Amino acid sequence: MRFDIVTLFPDFFSSPLRSGLLGKALDKQIATVQLTNPRDFTTDKHRKVDDQPYGGGVGMVMKPEPIVAAVESLPLLPRRQVLLTTPQGQVMTQALFRDWAISYDQLIVLCGHYEGIDERVLNIVDCEISLGDFVLTGGEIPALTLLNGVIRLLPGTVGKPESILCDSFEAGLLDYPHYTRPPEFRGWLVPAILRSGNHAAIAAWRRAQMIERTKQRRPDLYEKWRSQSEPEP
């Protein structure tokens, strides 16, 4: 899968793209990431990528010409989507990550900056995306989140693909609690059922924990899950 990140700060991605599962996936060519700087597509001697907003106001707005030229310079695959990072966008979810991983061969991500991007750029954008209801200094962090979330779902990235099926949000619920050795630490015990060897009982315990944890921590998710699920026995 090909990812094209259009960013004013390509160096931001240098270390993350070499680290952990993300770096291994790129080494194995499971995915490729290309970084394109809109500043390289400016035509003035100052390489200007922003300007004052029409109508007045505080801050600067990213100009449309360098961004559109940067996107038009890219090889475009048939199954592609152009995404724009913006606080006004759709909040990224596990379901979105899965859809992108399955449905597309190329994601082009435009990293927003300053007070925003000239509205005319939306003519080449398929979807606006956000990390949540807050504002960051730029779109590189959401873009990196997208890279991590989608690439880990691609075949070959995670050593045991079945482990992904147990992740939080995959079944509409939060994950169950995890424990490892030692069985006791500072008086805190691993639940006896996890050491019982009774796999059916363990599965039932984990299921109950997922439901209860979601109910307590994310009542919004719990209500959504409950409305879409069969009643629990």
pLDDT in tens, 2-56: 999 999 999 999 999 999 999 999 999 999 999 999 999 999 999 999 999 999 9
Task: Tell me how far apart the alpha carbons of residues 131 and 129 are, in angstroms, rounded to a whole number.
Answer: 7
Which top CATH class is 2-151?
alpha beta
Q: Is 213 a catalytic residue?
A: no
Catalytic, out of 10, 87, 98, 212: 87
Q: Is 80 a catalytic residue?
A: no
User: What are 57-109's pLDDT values in tens digits?
Assistant: 889 999 999 999 999 999 999 999 999 999 999 999 999 999 999 999 999 99
Give the DSSP letter string of 95-163.
Answer: HHHHHHHHH-SEEEEEE--TT-B-GGGGGG-SEEEESSSS--S-THHHHHHHHHHHHTTSTTSSSSGGG
Catalytic, out of 4, 66, 140, 152: 152
Q: Is 87 a catalytic residue?
A: yes
pLDDT tier, 166 (very low <50, low <70, confident <90, very high otherwise) = low
The tally of CA atoms less than 13 A away on the side-chain side of residue 189 is 5
Q: Is 115 a catalytic residue?
A: yes
* Range(s) of the chain covered by CATH 1.10.1270.20: 168-228
Q: What is the mean pLDDT of residues 129-146?
A: 96
pLDDT at 233: 47
Considering the four listed CATH numbers 2.130.10.10, 3.40.50.1970, 1.10.3720.10, 1.10.1270.20, the one that applies to the domain covering 168-228 is 1.10.1270.20
Q: What is the pTM of this model?
A: 0.88
pLDDT at 167: 66
Catalytic, out of 65, 99, 115, 212: 115
pLDDT tier, 164 (very low <50, low <70, confident <90, very high otherwise) = low
Task: Tell me how far apart the alpha carbons of residues 159 and 155 are, in angstroms, rounded to a whole number.
Answer: 9
Is residue 120 scored above 60 in pLDDT? yes
The first and second tokens of residue 158, run together, are 């995670």
* Range(s) of the chain covered by CATH 3.40.1280.10: 2-151
User: What are 214-233's pLDDT values in tens digits?
Assistant: 999 999 999 999 998 865 54
75 neighbors 4 (Cβ within 8 angstroms):
no
